Amino acid sequence: APASSTEPAAAGAAASAVATVVAAVLAAEPQELAGRLPDGIECLRRIAEQVDACHAPRADGRAVGRWLTEVLTVLGHAAVTRHRARLAGRLHNVGKILPPPQVLARPGPLDAEEWRLIRMHPLMGANLLAQVPGLQIEAEIIAQQREWFGGGGYPSGIAGSGIRIEARALAVCTAWAAMRGGRGGRDPLSGPAAREQLRVGRATQFDPVVVDVFLALESDRRVGLPHPGDRLTTTPAARATDRPVLDSPDRTPLSRL
C-alpha cells in the first residue's frame, strides 16, 4: 500500500473530512446503505459521488472510468486490468475531500501551503482505498495519477514505464475531463483546443501512446462524450482560451482538477 508522508495535523484534518463526508452520505441515504457499511467499495463510491458533485461540473468519475476502459481495450490489456482501472477511475477523486473547496476552485496561482494540500490528494485517495481489502492495485493507480511520463510529477517523481499504464491512461482521461469541463474556475476549452493541449503534453506530462489512442477514440466519438450512465451536467458552451493548462506550479494546473 502507498506510504503516507503527511504531517499529523494534516492527517487529522483528513480524518475529520472523511468523517464529515461519510456522515453526510449516511444522512442522505440511510435506508439504501442500511446493512452495507462493511462494504468499503460502496462507501468509497458514495464519497466519490459527493466529491464529484462539488468538483466535477461536466464529467464525473463514471465518465473517466468508462474512457479508461476504452483506452485500455485498444491497448490490448486484459479484462481484469480494465476492470481495476475502471474502478480506479470511478474513485480517482476521493482524495479531494482534503483540500478546501475554495483552493480547488481558484483559477489563479496557489501559495506554497495550498500547493502542499493539492499535492496530497493522490496519496490521500490511495490511502483511503488501501484500507479496503483487495483494492491495493487501485490504490497504486490513484497514487500515481499525477506523475509525469517525462518525470517531475508528484508525489514520487517516477517516470515512463515506472508509472502503471492504468495511471498513465488515467492522467490523460482526467486532463480531458478538466479541460472540457472548465474546472478550477476556468472556462471550458473547445474540443480543438483541448486536443492541442494533449498533443503539447505528449512525452512530457503524458504517455504519447496513450495520448494518440485517446485522441483517435475521441475522433471516433467513443470517449469524451456524454453517456447515459455518466450523469453529466450542463455547462456553458465550451470556448477556447489562451491560458496554458499544462500541470506545473507556475501555471493553472490540471493536477488541481
Q: How many CB atoms lie within 10 A of CB 101?
A: 10
On the question of pLDDT at 159 being above 80, the answer is yes
pLDDT of 28 over the 60 cut: no
Q: Which residue has the cell 475522433?
A: 219
Would you state the pLDDT for residue 84? 92
- Using the predicted structure, report yes or no on whether residue 26 has a pLDDT greater than 50: no
Q: What percent of the chain has pLDDT over 90?
A: 40
pLDDT digits (tens, 9 = 90+) for 183-202: 666 788 999 999 999 999 99
Q: Give the model's pLDDT for residue 35.
A: 42
Dihedral sign for Cα 106, 109, 114, 119, please: positive
- CA gap 184, 104 in Å, rounded: 6
**What pTM, to 2 d.p., does this model score?**
0.73
pLDDT at 124: 87
pLDDT at 3 over 70: no
Compute φ and ψ for 202, nearest 5 degrees.
-60, 130
Mean pLDDT of 213-239: 66
What is the pLDDT confidence band of residue 114, given thresholds at 50, 70 and 90?
confident
Which residue did the predictor score with more confidence, 221 or 29? 221
Question: Quick one: 242 exposed, middle or buried, by C-beta within 10 A (0-12, 13-18, 19+)?
Answer: exposed
CA separation for the pair 204, 200 (Å, rounded): 8
CATH for the 8-256 domain, from 1.20.1530.20, 3.40.50.300, 1.10.3210.10, 3.50.50.60: 1.10.3210.10
List the chain domain ranges. 8-256
Q: How would residue 102 be classed by pLDDT, with cut points 50, 70 and 90?
A: confident
pLDDT at position 55:
58
pLDDT bin (cut points 50, 70, 90) of residue 104 is: confident
Specify the higher pLDDT residue, 41 or 147.
147
What average pLDDT does the segment 211-219 reach? 98
Q: What is the mean pLDDT of residues 160-172?
A: 98
Percentage, residues of the chain above pLDDT 70: 65
> What is the structure's pLDDT at 208?
99
Using the predicted structure, report yes or no on whether residue 94 has a pLDDT greater than 90: no
Contact indicator for 206, 163 with CB cutoff of 8 Å: no
Q: What share of the chain is helix, strand, coil (3-state, %, to 5)?
A: 60, 0, 40
At residue 67, the pLDDT reads 96
Q: Among all chains, which residue has been given the C-alpha cell 477511475? A: 89
Mean pLDDT along residues 109-134 = 85
Between 170 and 136, whose confidence is greater?
Answer: 170
**Side-chain half-sphere exposure of 37, counting CA atoms within 13 A:** 8
Residue 161 pLDDT greater than 80, yes or no: yes
Mean pLDDT of the chain: 75
Highest mean pLDDT among 58-67, 91-100, 114-123, 148-157: 148-157
